[in-house]
Amino acid sequence: MQVCILSDSHDNRRLLEHAVEDAKGRGAEAVLHCGDVVAPTTLRVLKKFDLPVHVIHGNNAGDLFAMSQLAHEPDSMVRYHGQDAVIHLGGKRFFLVHYPHYALGMALTGDYDVVCCGHDHRVSVKEIHNIKGGTSWLVNPGTVGGVGKYPSYILADLAAMTFSVFEVPTAPGEACNTPPVSVHA
């Protein structure tokens, strides 16, 4: 199973849409959004991809009531989890939170295979040695909205436990300008 991990869209519908279109074309079966959507209506551009979208809020929370309403619409693929979330996908346990320091703490517990965060707009994939003697992945996809950095997302291959960083295409159907950077288990 492949999963699109992104964060910090900051109302940039166009780049969010292009990222998910690109990720779905590469085989993504779900989307994890690590916060700072801001306006919940931003997520409506993802409806056409028919992928489950798991989302948390960040420090730019926007209208949380509207986010809850969007998630409860009969045909909505959006699952709004609040401040953080535990999600099971492809036999792996994910923890989503917006803040990197909180994410590092959760990765150190060893309770999760992958801990995802956002907030600082810096792409990062790190293998963390946890207190249970194993490893957890700490994944920050940067900013899909291109706020202060190039727009990016991460495609996680859960069978291989690899994480590929992609620059978001600037137009629909356009290929990325840069080759992906991959991190392997």
155 or 62, higher pLDDT? 155
Confidence of residue 65 (pLDDT cuts 50, 70, 90): confident
Residue spans of beta strands (DSSP E) within 8-167: 28-33, 53-55, 78-80, 84-89, 92-97, 114-116, 123-129, 135-141, 152-157, 162-167
The CATH number covering residue 109 comes to 3.60.21.10
Q: In what order do the strands lie in the sheet with 92-97?
A: 84-89, 92-97, 114-116, 135-141, 123-129
In this predicted structure, what is the pLDDT of residue 174? 60
In this predicted structure, what is the pLDDT of residue 11? 95
Tens digits of residue pLDDT in 74-84: 888 999 999 99
Q: Which residue is associated with the tokens 């989503």? A: 96
Domain assignment of residue 177, given as a range: 2-184
pTM of model > 0.85:
yes
Among 182, 176, 174, 117, residue whose Cα is nearest residue 151: 176
CA distance 145 to 34: 12
Tens digits of residue pLDDT in 141-168: 999 999 999 999 999 999 999 999 999 9
In this predicted structure, what is the pLDDT of residue 112? 98
Measured between alpha carbons, how far is residue 77 from residues 37, 39, 124, 148 in Å? 15, 16, 27, 29
184, 47 Cβ separation under 8 angstroms: no
In this predicted structure, what is the pLDDT of residue 84? 97
Q: How many domains, in total, are found in the chain?
A: 1
Confidence of residue 178 (pLDDT cuts 50, 70, 90): low
In this predicted structure, what is the pLDDT of residue 89? 98
